[in-house]
Amino acid sequence: MTAVLPISAEPAALPQEDARPGRWRRMPAKAKAGAILLGVFVLAAIIGPFVAPYDPSFQNSSPALSLHAPYSAHLLGTTQSGQDVLSQLLVGIRLTLELAFFVGLVATALSVIVGVTAAFLGGVWDEVLSLLTNVFLVIPALPLLIVLLGYLQTKGQSATILVLSLLSWPWGARVVRAQTLAIRNRDFISAAKETGEKTWRIIGYEIVPNEVSLIAASFVNTVLYAIGASVALAFIGVTNLNSWSLGTILYWAQSQQALQLGAWWWFVPPGLAVALIGTGLVLLNTGIDELGNPRLRDAASASRIAGRWLRPADPTPVLSDISQRRGRVAGFLHSFSRSSLIDETKAGDAR
Amino acid sequence: MPFIVRRLVFYLVAAWVALTINFLIPRAMPGNAVQSVMAKFPNLQPSAYKALEALLGVGHPGSLWSQYVSYLDEIVHFNFGTDVSQYPASVSSLLVQTLPWTIILVGTATVIAFLIGTVLGIVAGWRHGGTLDRVLPGLMFLQAIPYFFFALILLELFAIRFHVFPTGQGYDNGLIPGWHWDFISSAFYHSLLPALTIVLTSIAGWMLTMRNVMITTIGEDYVIAAQAKGLPSRRVIYTYAARNALLPQLQGFGLAVGFVVSGALVMEIVFGYPGIGLLLLNAVTSNDYPLMQAIFLVITFTVLLANLVVDMIIVVADPRARTMEAAS
């Protein structure tokens, strides 16, 4: 997150204060709200299992404690078998966030590798990888995930992470590829090539650092997607139901008729937690977007940045030099993608 | 090659990839799926065992290639095998029963959400910084709610608390499905709450992207020129700005259809709606692998088809798509 901040505005125009509070103040209000919201849940994930008042799986056999509405001893009530909902929630947030974080990490790494490779190598490599990306974008992921997890005999956390990561890289790869295409012909890359830098060094030290904000946004998006998908998968019952995550709480609530029994305290807190984490991530991402594209800011938040009015400026044209020479096979493959429409007409305009 | 033909070829490639993945999954996964199915359903006939082996590729009859060829042959003839949990019903008959429910509900609700979201996005983009911009964070919250959780909340509020809508299922229990008024009105009434779920949760996404594209388009020179000429705002908004901003929105629509369908599948489970999502849940809970795989294929093909329809709309809306033949 901190890495994306320098693009917010020209540093010279900003008050030269102590670095950290200045940076914080420069962030759009939406990003701040998102970061705070998310921080609360990350904190809950870290300390949750230690402060949980009960063992989440402990079943209190006393009939009085079955489906008890929230009261002082059980702040969020109890489930049908007398388990404490608050404890389940505190333990579940950790598992869900942990999974989403690792999926975000692995999938973003995959998307950077595929995106940069495609754009930097170009030609047939680009076309094959782009075709693959587009195919996996258009195939709906959730049914495929269900089939894959349905066949898995051991449904541990790491297996779920692996399967989810394998299916959530295409979106990021597409964005990274477009950005790499835009900067691969810039002067500093040519200069690096002229001085005989190795390809991997150019990619690692020249290209990737210039895409940090994009990669951060893609990471946040993937985490958001992973949370939604993992909760939905758990709700259907294809992940490990013996561990507590936000999805499994909802699964048990649904399968034990919480709704019909009127036990709102059983399914509302976990669902609300998912929604709030999601809102935090969306807000954060919109904030990152607005840093990069000042036009998107609404008038109110634009004026609030660093206490001064930032005039909406022209966004940098990112895709202007996207067209490139294509080989015969490459051109043929490329012509099937929807983006070919935009690319080729842009190129035609330029000529 | 015309744009639409290229896209068609792309979808054929995507369909082939989906088919191949579907073929490889049971063969690549550890464990013996047939044994676990047979253990769960002891009343299956030996012939069903053979069919299962062929479908899941466990007994390895013949080489991988010959298995692949016969697999494709079966699929082309819409033969997805015999269902194991509802033996002896065929998988395709189960799909035929449930697919129309999902397509009508999800299709209609998605189109409605797209239209409303796009119009709201146009207004929000034009009145940049206005009232609609201020409700955006609220809409983002709606968007972040998982479909099925939103469905739970709506059920709790409108069906359990205030008995305005039925608590689930596709139609009243006593009715026999058919083309008569009682059934249709009941089905419509039962579909309102599920449809509302899809519309409310997906509207924010359409609105946000349309708003963002609109804002960028409004800054273009030709829009400013149109305003400077003194054209009425309405004409500038809809004929100059929105028409061009709509193209990225349409392209996004094609890709988002998959997400919406996935979300809607899980939502159906909450409502007990007799669509393909509920069928998928039954398949998962009973380890019904043939059914699971067939559902994956059917959903994928439906999404590809929806994408193709969007491409046809793009051809109508975007003159560049029609003149591509000259360009390439």
- Look at residue A160 and tell me whether its pLDDT is greater than 70: yes
The type of residue at A172 is G
Q: Evaluate if residue A342 carries a pLDDT over 70.
A: no
Percent of chain B topping pLDDT 90: 1
Q: Are the C-beta atoms of residues A104 and A38 closer than 8 Å to each other?
A: no
Confidence of residue A313 (pLDDT cuts 50, 70, 90): very low
pLDDT at B115 over 50: yes
Beta bridge partners of residue B82, listed in sequence order:
B90
What are A51-100's pLDDT values in tens digits? 777 777 777 767 666 767 777 777 777 777 777 778 888 888 888 898 99
> If 0-12 CB within 10 Å is exposed, 13-18 middle and 19+ buried, where does residue B177 land?
middle
- Reply yes or no on whether the pLDDT at B106 is more than 50: yes
Q: How many CB atoms sit inside 10 A of residue A194's CB?
A: 8
Q: Say if residue B75 is exposed, middle or buried (CB neighbours under 10 Å; 0-12, 13-18, 19+).
A: middle
Residue B30 Ramachandran class (φ > 0 left, ψ -120 to 50 alpha, else beta): beta
Residues A285, A107: Cα–Cα separation, whole Å:
17
Residues A215-269: tens digit of each pLDDT:
888 888 889 888 888 888 888 888 777 788 888 888 888 887 777 777 788 888 8
What confidence score (pLDDT) does residue B49 get?
66
ipTM of predicted complex: 0.81
Which residues, in sequence order, are bridge partners of residue B90?
A: B82
Selection from A286, A284, A306, A304 nearest residue A296 by Cα: A286
Rounded-to-10 torsion of CA A35, A41, A47, A52: 160
The pLDDT of residue A6: 38
Q: Residue A107 pLDDT > 90, yes or no?
A: yes
**Between B67 and A25, where is the model more confident?**
B67
Centre a 10 Å sphere on the Cβ of residue B287 and count the other Cβ atoms it contains.
18
Whether B148 and A235 lie within 8 Å, measured CB to CB: yes
Q: How far is B181 from chain A (nearest CA, A)?
A: 30
Model confidence at A272, in pLDDT bands (50, 70, 90)? confident
Pick the range with the lowest mean pLDDT from A173-187, A263-277, B42-56, B313-327.
Answer: B42-56
pLDDT in tens, A121-144: 878 888 888 888 888 888 888 888
B134-193: pLDDT as tens digits: 777 777 777 778 788 888 888 888 877 777 777 777 677 666 666 777 777 777 777 888
pLDDT tens profile B285-310:
877 777 888 888 888 888 888 888 88
- Provide the token pair at B93: 């008959």
Which residues does chain A have within 8 Å of residue B160's beta carbon, measured at their own beta carbons? 259-260, 262
- CA distances A23 to A33, A292, A300, A305, Å, are 15, 15, 19, 10
Contact at CB, A144 and B153, closer than 8 angstroms:
no
Mean pLDDT of chain B: 78
The gap between the terminal CA atoms of chain B, to the nearest Å, is 8
- Give the best residue of B9, B16, B207, B296 to mutate against chain A (max A CB count within 10 A): B296
Q: Which pair of structure tokens corresponds to residue B244?
A: 């061009």
The band of A329, judged by pLDDT with boundaries at 50, 70 and 90, is low
CB pairs under 8 A between A and B: 192
Which residue does chain A place closest to B142, by CA atoms? A275
| pLDDT single digits (tens) B220-267 | 888 888 888 888 888 888 888 888 888 888 877 877 787 778 888 888
Contact B3 A300 (CB under 8 A): no
Calculate Rg over the CA atoms of chain B. Answer: 24
Position B116 scores a pLDDT of 92
DSSP B115: H
Cβ(A86)–Cβ(A70) below 8 Å: no
Q: Would you say B237 and B243 are in contact if contact means Cβ atoms under 8 Å apart?
A: no
Residue A15 burial (C-beta neighbours within 10 Å; 0-12, 13-18, 19+):
exposed
Dist CA A344 CA B191 (whole Å): 44
Which pLDDT band, with edges at 50, 70 and 90, does B327 fall under?
very low
**A181-216 tens-digit pLDDT:** 888 878 888 888 888 888 888 888 888 887 887 888
Residues in Cβ contact with A198 at an 8 Å cutoff, skipping those fewer than 6 apart: none
Q: Which pLDDT does position A15 carry in this prediction? A: 41
Whether A102 shows a pLDDT value over 90: the answer reads yes
Give the pLDDT score at A105: 93
Cross-strand bridge partners of residue A84: A78
For chain B, percent of residues with pLDDT exceeding 70 = 81
pLDDT at position B256 = 78
**Residue A109's pLDDT is what?**
93
DSSP B45: -
Q: What is the DSSP letter of B323?
A: S
Decide if B10 and A134 are in contact by the 8 Å CB cutoff.
yes
Give the one of A134, A138, A276 whose C-beta lies nearest to B258's C-beta. A138
d(CA A104, CA A224): 9
Distance from CA of A152 to the nearest CA of B (A): 7
Best A137, A295, A336, A349 residue to mutate vs chain B (most B CBs within 10 Å): A336
Q: Which residue in this structure is represented by tokens 């930032």?
A: A310
* Residue A104, pLDDT score: 92
Residue in A with minimal Cα distance to B127: A298
Round to whole Å and give the CA distance between A298 and B129: 5
Chain B residues with CB-CB distance to A254 below 8 A: 152, 269-270
Q: Which of A112-116, B28-32, B88-92, B275-279 has the highest mean pLDDT?
A: A112-116
pTM: predicted TM-score of the whole model, two decimal places: 0.77
pLDDT given for residue A314 in this prediction: 41
Q: Above 90 in pLDDT, residue B61?
A: no
**B251 → chain A, closest CA residue:** A338
Tens-digit pLDDT profile for residues B207-231: 888 888 888 888 888 888 888 888 8
C-beta atoms surrounding A201 within 10 Å: 11
> CA torsion angle for A335, A339, A345, A350 (degrees, to 10)?
-110
**Alpha-carbon distance B175 to B196, whole Å?**
24
Q: Which range has the worst mean pLDDT, A17-21, B63-67, B135-139, B186-190? A: A17-21
Alpha carbon distance B23, B67 (integer Å): 9
Burial label for A59, CB within 10 Å (0-12, 13-18, 19+), is: middle
Q: Which residue has the higher pLDDT, A1 or B165?
A: B165
Q: Report the length, in residues, of chain B.
A: 328
